Amino acid sequence: MRPSVLLVDDEPNIVLSLEFLMKQAGYDVRIARDGDAALQAVAERAPDLILLDVMTPGRDGYEVCQTIRANPAWKDIKIVMLTAKSREVEREKGLALGADDYVTKPFSTRELVNRVRRLLADEHP
Amino acid sequence: MMQPWLIVTAAFGYLCLLFAVAYWADKRADAGRSVVASPYIYALSIAVYCTAWTFYGSVGRAATSGADFLPIYLGPTLAAVLWWHVLRKMLRISKNNRITSIADFVASRYGKSHLLGGLVTVVAVIVIMPYIALQLKGVSTSFNVLLRYPDIVMPSAVGRQPIFEDTALYVAVLMAVFAMLYGTRHIDVTERHEGMVAAIAFESTVKLIAFLCLGAFVTFVMFGGFDDIFARAAERPDVKHLFTSVGAGGLGGWVTLTLLSMAAILFLPRQFQVSVVENVDERHLEKAAWLFPLYLVAINVFVVPIAVAGLLTFPPGTVDGDMFVLALPISGQQGWLALIAFIGGLSAATGMVIVETIALSTMVCNDLVMPILLRVRALRLTERGDLTRLLLTIRRCSIVFVLFLGYLYFYFIGGSYALVSIGLLSFAAVAQLAPAIIGGMYWKGGNRIGALGGLTAGFLMWVYTLLLPSFVRSGWLPLSFLSDGPWGIALLRPEALFGLEGLDNLSHALFWSMVANVGLYVGLSLATGQTLTERIQATRFVEIFQQPDAGDRARLWRGSASFEDLFSLVARFIGKQRAEQSFAGYAADHGVDLAKLARADAELVHFTERLLAGAIGAASARVMVASVVKGENVSIDEVMKILDEASQVIEYSRQLEEKSRALEAASAELRAANLRLRELDRLKDDFLATVTHELRTPLTSIRSFSEILHDNPNLPTDQRQEFLAIVIKESERLTRLINQVLDLARIEAGRFDWQISAVDVRELVLEAMAATKQLFRERNVTIQADLPPELPPVHADRDRLMQVVINLLSNAVKFSPAGTGLVNVTIRERNYGLEVRVADNGPGISRENQQIIFEKFRQVGDLMTGKPSGSGLGLAISRRIVEHFGGRIWVESEPGHGATFAFIVPFAAPPSAAAP
């Protein structure tokens, strides 16, 4: 079965580019526009990995990350935080909340895809 | 006939009670639970002012010269108003300098002068003697009158008593015993006598109650109330005349009496004793200043009724007015009431005599005897051991001496003159102290020679114009002395000196004595210089409130002494135990260890001097301390320098205070500015972070799609076109954002290039609608416009105003629901400009968000659901543009019912045509 990836971002063009990249890498892709939609999508079917924007409307990315990590059933879900904020404290906050990786926008598409691959390869050797 | 034993027992019993009260108060004081630390006791003790003279004499004076008795009480009442200034200053000075008598006060002020202290003491003893005699006479006379009960026999008809049957003698002896017991129990550095004060307060209460009882009996029992008495008085022409005309002395006499009694309440030795020396707490003054006048009112209420009642009851010439107080209850056959009246008079007399003798004994001892003894080298007093016993003995002898003199005066001379006249004589003499004391407290220039000259001249003038005439009236001097003047020189007639006639003799005497006194005091003070000590003391006295320690800083002692010497010096005068206590207190206050102190510094020497001053007077203390201190005194120049420095330091510190206040204000401003700067700094940080965030978002899309296109050369054409379109759109967004940030920065920095002209708003809005047509079509939002023709132009930059309208339109379309969205654009003419309104039917904006959406990067999208596209700078820029044109922009909205953005821009020219 193909690994599934959940994209959480409110910028349509960024979502579009990520969707293209993830599908090209061979993953099953779902999309959520905000934090609540993301949690709903996770509850419906847990993805293998979430690309999670920090600045989502309503519930922000940190909160979503915290909620997922609070549920032991979802402990295997990999989370990669995406953010346009570049301060070191924000990165640390994300990792402290249980994110597996933290990527600053704008990012290198190849680099991002490699990171996602590595994370998913750990889980599906 | 009333049994003598009954009267004697009552009197003796009363005096025993007095002893008991004093004993009890002293025991309480020793136990640390003082009963006299109260403003009420303080005020009552000041009421020692009311003597037997008040008790018997006021009625007598009212019966002979009408309302003339009043000024004696008016004066102190007026003086009480001045207490807060004058008496408080005397108090403060006395506490600071440990002054224990009025003579000490004068001596201390004028350079600790033995001569002045002695002079004041001698004057005081001479003038107080008859006053004490007066009290003894009051007691003796009243006793004899009471003895004849129920007959009314005037003492003048009784003749002189054999000396050992004379009550006055026994009363005098008892009073001496009391004064010795409670006035000289120990030598104390403060000279306070709590037992005595309590007894005096008790006596003041007794005499008031006795007088009120009697007054009430006479007024309400013997007569039918005030109305009845005065109605019956009005029927008698002689009585009526007494109370409807100004007294014998005329108006001038009134003023004189008032002034004299004002001086008396402040400067009589016994008043100084109770109001200054015995004062426990300066704040008691506040309450006493109205309690004491109240007491005076109370004790005078019945004076006139009793006097009138006496005049109405007794045939003229049969009963002395002075004895009405006793004669009235006797005539009413009220033995007990007569006894009560007698006790009241007794208490008034004993109170005065006790305090006066104690005060005088301190003066005689400290300012007369000790200085002389210290000077007599043969006694080698400065080298002798314990002197406390000597001091106490001197004081006790002084008490006996003073009382004995008073008794002699009474016995041989007292019968000759009416009571009140003797009292007034004393008052006039005491008033001679006023220039030296008042001047000394308020005029730094007054000096010792001036005070000596003024006091001597005033006193001699008093002797000449008052005392000698009184001798004439007693028959010891020929009448021609008064009528023709000495040696027949009319100009020197004692009661019409230098031809001054038409005044009553008291006013006349006061006038000349004061002219001589004040004239010499001021004249000599100005003409001669001050010694060093005088200058220091003058500053200490006059500036007691401004710089209470001025004298301390400029202290005279520069050399030092061994602590051993100082201690034994003090111990000799006040006893070892008290000396130890005092020095221990000093050590605790100054944080020094006396045990390790070998050499005493100037401050300790000064402390010792003050300590001794309390016990033996300022002048003697100075001599004693000088005998043990080695080292030269400071020169006058040096002290003047110190004093000048002191005032410079005060001025300097005042300036410093002002400067520090200014500094504080400045630093508060700086703090505020700093806070604002930090706030601005934080805002700048936030702004930068937000700008970079906003820049990164379009940049992310551009980079991602560029890389995708680059890495996938074989993408289908339409997908490639789609991605390229996104790259172009995001690039545009980036450009717009950068332009907006720059615009904002330029507007804020005031460097924006404005092209102001008259703008046709209608045309501008139509153009903006055309420019955003595509947006509306994309989201399928309807736009309606209501634009009246013929609008006056506004004052604006056309391109910038267009930017505002486009911004509002694109916001409106952004927030309107796709498909059912409806945007209304209207223009309205207002008083001073045109109002443009853009209304949508979107979600609306809550009240709290209506202000912040005009701030930088604050999108309501953040705060509600869904993130709108845009920089978050549009409204912030719009607001700055509109405000630059002199208009304003705002939003009206109810959440759920859409939002209306509106702005007003002023007309281009004064809208003369538009005005109605």
Tell me how far CA of residue B515 lies from CA of B116, B461, B504, B505, in angstroms. 20, 10, 17, 15
Inter-chain Cβ pairs, chain A and chain B, closer than 8 A: 66
B712 in the same domain as B604: no
In this prediction, residues B782-807 reach a mean pLDDT of 88
Cβ distance B689 to A85 less than 8 Å, yes or no, reads yes
Distance of CA B703 to the CA centre of its chain: 83
B696 in the same domain as B777: no
Cβ distance B703 to A57 less than 8 Å, yes or no, reads no
What pLDDT is attached to residue B915? 38
What pLDDT is attached to residue B701? 92
Its domain, for residue B679, covers 638-747
SS3 B826: strand
Cβ distance B862 to A57 less than 8 Å, yes or no, reads yes
Token digits of residue B690: 């937000």
Quick one: three-class SS letters along B314-330?
CCCCCCCHHHHHHHHHH
In this structure, how many other beta carbons lie within 10 angstroms of the beta carbon of residue B10?
Answer: 18
Q: Kind of pairing, strands B599-600 and B561-562?
A: antiparallel
B180 in the same domain as B266: yes
B326 in the same domain as B184: yes
Tell me how far CA of residue B384 lies from CA of B348, B388, B622, in angstroms. 42, 11, 17
What pLDDT is attached to residue B404? 85
Point out which residues pair with B561 in neighbouring strands.
B600
Could you tell me which residue, B823 or B155, shows the higher pLDDT?
B823
Residues of B with CB under 8 A from a CB of A: 689, 692-694, 696-697, 699-705, 707-708, 711-712, 726, 729-730, 861-862, 865-867
Q: Among B76-80, B82-86, B570-574, B707-711, which stretch is predicted with the lowest mean pLDDT?
A: B570-574
B194 in the same domain as B283: yes
Are A30 and A8 in contact, with CB atoms under 8 Å apart?
no
Q: Which of A9, A23, A20 is nearest to B726 (CA)?
A: A20
Residue B901 dihedral angles phi and psi, to the nearest 5°? -90, 135
Q: Among B495-499, B675-679, B714-718, which stretch is predicted with the lowest mean pLDDT?
A: B495-499
B774 in the same domain as B701: no
Could you tell me which residue, B726 or B689, shows the higher pLDDT?
B726
B812 in the same domain as B871: yes
Task: Tell me the nearest-neighbour CA distance from B682 into chain A, angstroms.
Answer: 15
- Evaluate if residue B684 carries a pLDDT over 80: no
Residue where the block lists tokens 């070892």: B576
B450 within a domain of the structure (yes/no): no
Contacts of B867 in chain A (CB under 8 A): 10, 57
B478 within a domain of the structure (yes/no): no
Interface pTM, i.e. ipTM: 0.93
Q: How confident is the model at residue B645 (pLDDT cuts 50, 70, 90)?
A: low
Q: How confident is the model at residue B886 (pLDDT cuts 50, 70, 90)?
A: confident
Q: How confident is the model at residue B862 (pLDDT cuts 50, 70, 90)?
A: very low
Task: Write the CATH number for B849.
Answer: 3.30.565.10
B452 within a domain of the structure (yes/no): no
B502 within a domain of the structure (yes/no): no
Question: What total of structural domains would you count in chain B?
Answer: 4
Residue where the block lists tokens 């001589």: B516
Task: Tell me the nearest-neighbour CA distance from B726 into chain A, angstroms.
Answer: 7
- Evaluate if residue B766 carries a pLDDT over 70: yes
Contacts of A87 in chain B (CB under 8 A): 689
B740 in the same domain as B787: no
- Substitution target in B695, B696, B702, B712 with the highest count of A β-carbons within 10 Å is B696
Q: How confident is the model at residue B131 (pLDDT cuts 50, 70, 90)?
A: confident
Q: How confident is the model at residue B702 (pLDDT cuts 50, 70, 90)?
A: very high
Cα(B429)–Cα(B432) distance, rounded to whole angstroms?
5
Are B73 and B258 in contact, with CB atoms under 8 Å apart?
no
Residues of A with CB under 8 A from a CB of B: 10-11, 13-14, 16-18, 20-21, 24, 34, 55, 57-58, 84-87, 105-110
In this prediction, residues B743-757 reach a mean pLDDT of 82
Residue B186 dihedral angles phi and psi, to the nearest 5°? -155, 165
Which of A57, A84, A108 is facing B693, going by the closest CB pair?
Answer: A84
Residue of B nearest to A56 (CA): B867
Task: Tell me the nearest-neighbour CA distance from A5 into chain B, angstroms.
Answer: 18
Type of residue found at B401: F
Residue A99 dihedral angles phi and psi, to the nearest 5°? -70, 150
Q: How confident is the model at residue B157 (pLDDT cuts 50, 70, 90)?
A: very low
Cβ distance A84 to B704 less than 8 Å, yes or no, reads no
What pLDDT is attached to residue B877? 85
In this prediction, residues B806-825 reach a mean pLDDT of 87
Could you tell me which residue, B161 or B110, shows the higher pLDDT?
B110
Contacts of B712 in chain A (CB under 8 A): 24
B688 in the same domain as B619: no
Contacts of A106 in chain B (CB under 8 A): 696, 699-700, 702-704
Could you tell me which residue, B439 or B147, shows the higher pLDDT?
B439
Could you tell me which residue, B871 or B739, shows the higher pLDDT?
B739
In this structure, how many other beta carbons lie within 10 angstroms of the beta carbon of residue B881?
Answer: 25
- Evaluate if residue B616 carries a pLDDT over 80: no
In this prediction, residues B898-905 reach a mean pLDDT of 90
Task: Write the CATH number for B705.
Answer: 1.10.287.130
Q: Domains of chain A: which residue ranges?
A: 4-123
Cβ distance A14 to B704 less than 8 Å, yes or no, reads yes
Q: Which of B522, B505, B560, B437 is nearest to B124 (CA)?
A: B437
Tens digit of each residue's pLDDT (9 = 90 or more) over B468-481: 887 777 777 777 77
Q: How confident is the model at residue B648 (pLDDT cuts 50, 70, 90)?
A: low
- Identify the domain boundary among B702, B717, B747: B747
- Substitution target in B697, B723, B731 with the highest count of A β-carbons within 10 Å is B697
Task: Tell me the nearest-neighbour CA distance from B708 into chain A, angstroms.
Answer: 8
Contacts of B694 in chain A (CB under 8 A): 84
Residue B169 dihedral angles phi and psi, to the nearest 5°? -65, -45
Cα(B63)–Cα(B321) distance, rounded to whole angstroms?
6
Cβ distance B696 to A57 less than 8 Å, yes or no, reads no
Tens digit of each residue's pLDDT (9 = 90 or more) over B478-489: 777 777 777 777
Q: Which of B221, B222, B214, B237 is nearest to B301 (CA)?
A: B214
Q: Which of B603, B497, B600, B469 is nearest to B549 (CA)?
A: B603
In this prediction, residues B140-161 reach a mean pLDDT of 66
Are B730 and A13 in contact, with CB atoms under 8 Å apart?
yes
B400 in the same domain as B333: yes
B711 in the same domain as B733: yes
Which of A57, A85, A109 is facing B707, going by the closest CB pair?
Answer: A109
Q: Which residues contact B57 (CB under 8 A, 6 or more apart)?
A: B69, B138, B322, B419, B420, B423
What pLDDT is attached to residue B393? 82
In this prediction, residues B551-570 reach a mean pLDDT of 62
What pLDDT is attached to residue B237? 74
DSSP string, B446-508: --HHHHHHHHHHHHHHHIIIIIHHHHHHTTSS-THHHHT-GGG-GGG-TTSGGG--SS-HHHH
B836 within a domain of the structure (yes/no): yes
Tens digit of each residue's pLDDT (9 = 90 or more) over B78-91: 888 887 788 888 88
Q: Is A4-123 a domain of CATH 3.40.50.740?
A: no
What pLDDT is attached to residue B190? 61
Cβ distance A14 to B696 less than 8 Å, yes or no, reads no
Which of B689, B699, B704 is facing A17, going by the closest CB pair?
Answer: B704
Q: Select, from the ranges A36-50, B32-46, B236-250, the one with the highest average predicted confidence (pLDDT).
A: A36-50
Contacts of A24 in chain B (CB under 8 A): 712
What pLDDT is attached to residue B385? 60
Q: What is the DSSP letter of B792?
A: P
Cβ distance A21 to B708 less than 8 Å, yes or no, reads yes
Contacts of B866 in chain A (CB under 8 A): 10, 34, 57
Mean pLDDT across chain B: 78
SS3 A80: strand
What pLDDT is attached to residue B709? 92
Give just the sign of the alpha carbon dihedral A119, A120, A121, A123. Answer: positive
SS3 B235: coil
Q: How confident is the model at residue B897 (pLDDT cuts 50, 70, 90)?
A: confident
Give just the sign of the alpha carbon dihedral B322, B323, B329, B331. Answer: negative
Residue of B nearest to A11 (CA): B697
Task: Tell me the nearest-neighbour CA distance from B898 into chain A, angstroms.
Answer: 21
B10 in the same domain as B148: yes
Tens digit of each residue's pLDDT (9 = 90 or more) over B317-336: 777 777 888 888 887 777 78
This prediction has a pTM of 0.57
Tens digit of each residue's pLDDT (9 = 90 or more) over B390-441: 777 888 888 888 888 888 877 776 665 555 567 778 888 888 888 888 888 8
Are B280 and B36 in contact, with CB atoms under 8 Å apart?
yes
Tens digit of each residue's pLDDT (9 = 90 or more) over B38-63: 888 888 888 888 888 778 878 887 88
Could you tell me which residue, A37 or B240, shows the higher pLDDT?
A37
B516 within a domain of the structure (yes/no): no
Cβ distance A109 to B711 less than 8 Å, yes or no, reads yes
Share of chain B above pLDDT 70, in %: 83
- Evaluate if residue B294 carries a pLDDT over 80: yes
Cα(B321)–Cα(B324) distance, rounded to whole angstroms?
5
